[in-house]
Amino acid sequence: MTEIESEPVFGAGSGELAFNPADPALQADPYPAYRILRDEFPVLRGPLGAWLVSRYEDCEMLLRDRRMGKDFANSKFFEQVMGEVGDEPPPFLGLGLDDWDAKLFMLTDPPEHTRLRGLVSQAFTPATIAALRESVAAIVEDLLGELPRHFDVMERLATPLPIRVLGTMLGIPAEDQARFTEWSAEIAGLLDLDVQLSPETARARREAVAACTTYFVDLATRRAASAGDDLISTLVRARDEGSALTTQEIAATCVLLVVAAQETFSNLLGNAAILFSRHPKAFARLVAEPQTMDATLDEILRLEPPAHQVGRIALQEVELHGRLIEPGDAVILLVAAANRDERVFTNPDAFDIDRDGRGHLSFSRGIHYCLGAPLALMMAKEALLGLTARITAMELAEETIAYKPGMGLRGPARLPLVVTKRAA
pLDDT of residue 71: 75
Any domain includes 129: yes
pLDDT of residue 121: 79
Any domain includes 297: yes
CB atoms within 10 A of CB 240: 11
User: What ranges in 121-159 are assigned the alpha helix state H?
Assistant: 126-144, 153
For β-strands 323-325 and 318-320, DSSP reports them as antiparallel
Sheet holding 330-333, edge to edge: 43-45, 51-53, 330-333, 310-314, 68-69
Orientation angle between helical segments 160-170 and 178-187, nearest 10 degrees: 110
pLDDT of residue 8: 44
pLDDT of residue 99: 46
pLDDT of residue 197: 60
Coil, strand or helix at 324 = strand
Q: How far apart are CA 63 and CA 51, in angstroms?
A: 14
Any domain includes 1: no
Nearest to 305 by CA among 279, 332, 267: 267
Q: How far apart are CA 276 and CA 142, in angstroms?
A: 23
Q: How far apart are CA 172 and CA 165, in angstroms?
A: 10
Q: Which residues have C-beta within 8 Å of that of residue 23, sequence separation ≥ 6?
A: 6, 8, 9
Q: How far apart are CA 211 and CA 216, in angstroms?
A: 9
CA angle 156, 364, 205 (to 5 degrees): 55
Cβ-in-10-Å burial (0-12, 13-18, 19+) of 12 comes to: exposed
Residues of the chain short of pLDDT 70, as ranges, are 1-19, 21-22, 47, 73-109, 111-113, 189-198, 227, 239-244
Any domain includes 346: yes
Q: Please tell me the pTM assigned to this model.
A: 0.88
Nearest to 52 by CA among 66, 36, 67: 36
Q: How far apart are CA 270 and CA 265, in angstroms?
A: 8
CB atoms within 10 A of CB 286: 22
Any domain includes 5: no
How many distinct structural domains can be found in the chain?
Answer: 1
Residue 258: CA count within 13 A, CB half-sphere: 34
Domain of residue 293, residue span: 10-421
pLDDT of residue 190: 64
For β-strands 330-333 and 16-19, DSSP reports them as unpaired
pLDDT of residue 4: 30
Q: How far apart are CA 301 and CA 303, in angstroms?
A: 6
Please provide residue 5's backbone torsions phi and psi, each rounded to the nearest 5 degrees: -80, -25
Any domain includes 74: yes
CB atoms within 10 A of CB 18: 15
Residue range 162-180, pLDDT digits in tens = 999 998 888 888 888 888 8
Any domain includes 4: no
Query: In three state form, how does the secondary structure of 195-243 look?
Result: CCCCHHHHHHHHHHHHHHHHHHHHHHHHHHHCCCCCHHHHHHHHHHCCC
Cis peptide before 111 (omega within 30 of 0): yes
pLDDT of residue 397: 97
pLDDT of residue 92: 44
Q: Which residues lie across from 10 on neighbouring strands?
A: 19
pLDDT of residue 95: 45
CB atoms within 10 A of CB 225: 7
Q: How far apart are CA 403 and CA 413, in angstroms?
A: 5
Distance from the Cα of residue 55 to its chain's centroid: 20
Judge whether 25 and 8 are in contact, CB under 8 Å: yes
Residue range 193-251, pLDDT digits in tens = 554 566 777 778 778 888 888 899 899 888 887 767 888 888 888 766 655 677 887 88
Any domain includes 308: yes
Judge whether 183 and 211 are in contact, CB under 8 Å: yes
Judge whether 404 and 413 are in contact, CB under 8 Å: yes
pLDDT of residue 100: 43
Please provide residue 271's backbone torsions phi and psi, each rounded to the nearest 5 degrees: -65, -35
> Which CATH number covers residue 54?
1.10.630.10
Judge whether 335 and 310 are in contact, CB under 8 Å: yes
Q: What letter would DSSP give residue 154?
A: I
pLDDT of residue 14: 42
For β-strands 391-396 and 16-19, DSSP reports them as unpaired
Q: Which residues lie across from 18 on neighbouring strands?
A: 11
pLDDT of residue 79: 63
